[in-house]
Amino acid sequence: MSVESKTCQDDKAGLNVVSPSIELPGLRRPMKTNGPYAFSENEIKTIERSQVVRVLDSAPTIWENGGIKIVRIADNAVVKYGYDVKLLEARNMAFVAQHTTIRLPQVFDAWVENEDKGVDDETGICFIVMSYIDGWLLDEVWSELHSTHREDIQKQLHYFIRELRKTESEYPGPVGGGVCQGAFFTDYGAGPFSSKEEMETWFDERLAVCRDFGVADQAQRGFRGEFQRLVMCHMDLHPRNIILDCDRKIWLIDWAYAGMYPAYFETATILRHGRDPYFERLLDLLGDEEYKEATDRLFAISFALTTGALCKPSIKCDVFENTS
């Protein structure tokens, strides 16, 4: 993938504006930045990590929220860093870049710095240096796009998901291992899981919690034996994680929740937002009717993934019987 910087016009030329930009409340908007920057485009692949760290405080901020900050250090590069950034995101991105043609930022470097040298790589401040993608977040411009462009965007997304579903792994979770994150793993994460069976048991425990509280049918089918084929899933497909460039091509960003999961986990993640206009056509293109029962079972344990996330089941789920 080329790392040359390409600038899109601020007036969204060529996007066929039809209405004012949509605003989603509660989302911290990314900031547009202007140079000069700390490094030139040619320096990005050769600079030392210590040089990168030194310029972060003075680099223009693109986005900041909690323990995550993104700053721009060159025309063609940004750094995503913080205590809530994990090395597994860089591993996920590298895997997708190697095994698919999906457009996403190129990872130049990634590392963790720990104050305590005895802790592991998932603790401390993680730094990911990646290419800067110029364009607009899809949620910023969706309402301005002509229907033909919206259709094309959803077709691009459909193609990307089909590519992800061609990848396979025997091991669940982020590439290279790590805690599973995202809506179906509670706010606290789950795992790491060393096998499909371990992850199935964890979901059976969540179902058991729902049964304990009377919010799931006692006859509801469990998850044992259900996770036979694991594929790469983004797990956070949302208009704020999709960049539309000036050629109307989409780029997927924020791979922090990605990992190897059953294909229908991606569908369920999209359906969490309902059949909103962003992805309604995409869901039709995916044609995942075969996954309806499976996605319904995920939604049926929502209590144990949210309010009851810290509750333990009253039964031992490694002997949990799956009811057909």
- pLDDT of 9 reads 52
In a domain, residue 233? The reply is: yes
- pLDDT of 280 reads 85
- CB proximity list for 8: less than 8 A, separation 6 or greater: 134, 135, 136, 245, 246
265 and 192 housed in the same domain:
yes
- CB proximity list for 302: less than 8 A, separation 6 or greater: none
Please report, for the domain that includes residue 127, its CATH number: 3.30.200.20
In a domain, residue 24? The reply is: no
d(C-alpha 159, C-alpha 157), whole Å: 5
163 and 103 housed in the same domain:
no
pLDDT in tens, the chain (324 residues): 333 344 565 555 455 443 333 343 344 556 678 889 999 999 998 999 999 999 999 999 999 998 999 999 999 999 999 999 999 999 999 999 999 999 999 999 999 998 665 445 567 999 999 999 999 999 999 999 999 999 999 999 999 999 999 999 999 999 999 999 999 999 999 999 999 999 999 999 999 999 999 999 888 899 999 999 999 999 999 999 999 999 999 999 999 999 999 999 999 999 987 777 788 889 999 988 888 999 999 999 999 999 999 999 998 765 455 544
- pLDDT of 169 reads 97
185 and 283 housed in the same domain:
yes
CA neighbours closer than 13 Å in the CB half-sphere of residue 71: 18
Q: How far is CA 105 from CA 18, 131, 180, in A?
A: 29, 5, 22
182 and 76 housed in the same domain:
no
Q: What is the pTM of this model?
A: 0.88
The answer to whether the CB of 75 falls within 8 A of the CB of 81 is no
Q: Which of 98, 132, 166 finishes a domain?
A: 132
CA torsion, ordered 266, 270, 275, 278, to nearest 10 deg: -120
d(C-alpha 195, C-alpha 108), whole Å: 30
147 and 274 housed in the same domain:
yes
Q: Which of 75, 100, 132 finishes a domain?
A: 132
Domain of 49, in residue numbers: 41-132
- CB proximity list for 18: less than 8 A, separation 6 or greater: 143, 144, 145, 146
d(C-alpha 50, C-alpha 37), whole Å: 17
Total number of domains in the chain: 2
In a domain, residue 149? The reply is: yes
71 and 164 housed in the same domain:
no
- pLDDT of 244 reads 96
Please report, for the domain that includes residue 239, its CATH number: 1.10.510.10
- pLDDT of 315 reads 80
- pLDDT of 21 reads 37
In a domain, residue 299? The reply is: yes
Q: Which of 83, 116, 132 finishes a domain?
A: 132
In a domain, residue 29? The reply is: no
111 and 201 housed in the same domain:
no
213 and 241 housed in the same domain:
yes
89 and 216 housed in the same domain:
no
In a domain, residue 34? The reply is: no
224 and 291 housed in the same domain:
yes
63 and 169 housed in the same domain:
no
| Strands, E assignment, 142-254 | 231-233, 242-244, 250-252
217 and 289 housed in the same domain:
yes
In a domain, residue 204? The reply is: yes
d(C-alpha 79, C-alpha 126), whole Å: 10
d(C-alpha 212, C-alpha 204), whole Å: 12
Q: What kind and span of H or E run contains 156?
A: helix 147-164
In a domain, residue 23? The reply is: no
Residue 266 DSSP class: H
